[in-house]
Amino acid sequence: MLAKSRRNYIILYNKQIVPIERAQKAPFCTHKRRLFHGRAIHPTYERPEGRQLYTLPAYARIQPYILRRRSDAACFLSDSVEVTGVEKWLREKRAGGWANLGFLHLIIAAYVRTVSMRPGINRFVSGRRIYARNDIEVVLPVKRSASVTATETSIKIRFAPTDTVFDVYRKLTEASDEVRADISLSAPEKLANTLMRFPRVLLRMAMSIFRLMDYFDWLPRTWLDVSPFHGSVTMLDLGSFGVPPADPHLADFGNMPCAVSFGARRKVSEADGTASGVERHYVDLRIACDERIADSYYFASALKCLKYFLRNPHLLELAPESVEEDVN
């Protein structure tokens, strides 16, 4: 009877047996051991953003101890995708009432759909451990207005693996309109203004404390919800400025595992057996990834999925039939 009832109990780091509901509210509840049929198994280290992955091979789990900084583990991919057919699809949707639907909405929707099939790209590393993220959080730097002197801020939008391109359009439009309509500073801007009032020595100490808090999962959830350094991917839309993509970077602070940059459309004349040839349009992609969360083969497979959905945008109009879960 006792063993059966202990399924709903866990052992904290101090070996105290408490109900799961109570343990979630206990201090330092990230250090705990689960009980299964009365037997304690390996410790679990849960974070607000995700769950730790234990069944990964030891070779994968040791990578954060070897490549200690995210910048050391960054790998860079570059590719291009033909958008000749995509432009026609976008024109049809705009004529059908989806005004301002653009390539940014499409690439975010393609990324969300890719995560539903390759959830490993939505992992992150914190405190030398690899986690599977609970949500899909996309961070975008935005200008408050189309002006050189306008201030820049960032928005973070949460998506579900079942979201369609129209769901992405609605969520992104609402978030962008809210930022541009609100003249007050955002939460990251307010924090930055406060910190920059400190002397340099105190500012360095404060940042060291923040890094330590992030390592041990002591940062407040309210900070994580607005931090541009914690999320699934950073999207850089340089195509809206008419320039090629730049190589994105990954910050050592936070747990952002991926960054995607795409540039303006470029025209290419290709031979098709005729004298004049054919004109096709391409968009170049630059991607930075934290190679500690997955191997090269997995990233290559995810990139192929991303390009497939970009070339076939009609597949993003409907929710996926199934969603793959990350490893247990």
CATH no. of 68-317: 3.30.559.10
Q: For 159-213, how does the pLDDT look when each residue is reduced to its tens digit (9 = 90+)?
A: 999 999 999 999 999 998 888 777 777 777 888 888 899 999 999 999 999 999 9
Measure the CA–CA gap between 212 and 218, rounded to whole angstroms.
Answer: 8
Which are the contacts of 65, defined by CB distance < 8 A and separation ≥ 6? 128
CA distance 219 to 256: 15
- For the chain, domain boundaries: 2-44, 68-317
* Contact assessment for residue 126 and residue 162, using Cβ atoms and an 8 Å cutoff: no
Of 31, 242, 256, nearest to 126 by C-alpha is 256
Q: Which of 160, 175, 72, 176 is nearest to 122 (CA)?
A: 160
Least confident of 3-17, 43-57, 310-324: 3-17
Q: What sign does the CA torsion over 316, 310, 237, 124 have?
A: positive
Average pLDDT (93-105) is 93
Check pLDDT > 60 for residue 33: no
Summarize the confidence of residues 76-99 as an average pLDDT: 93
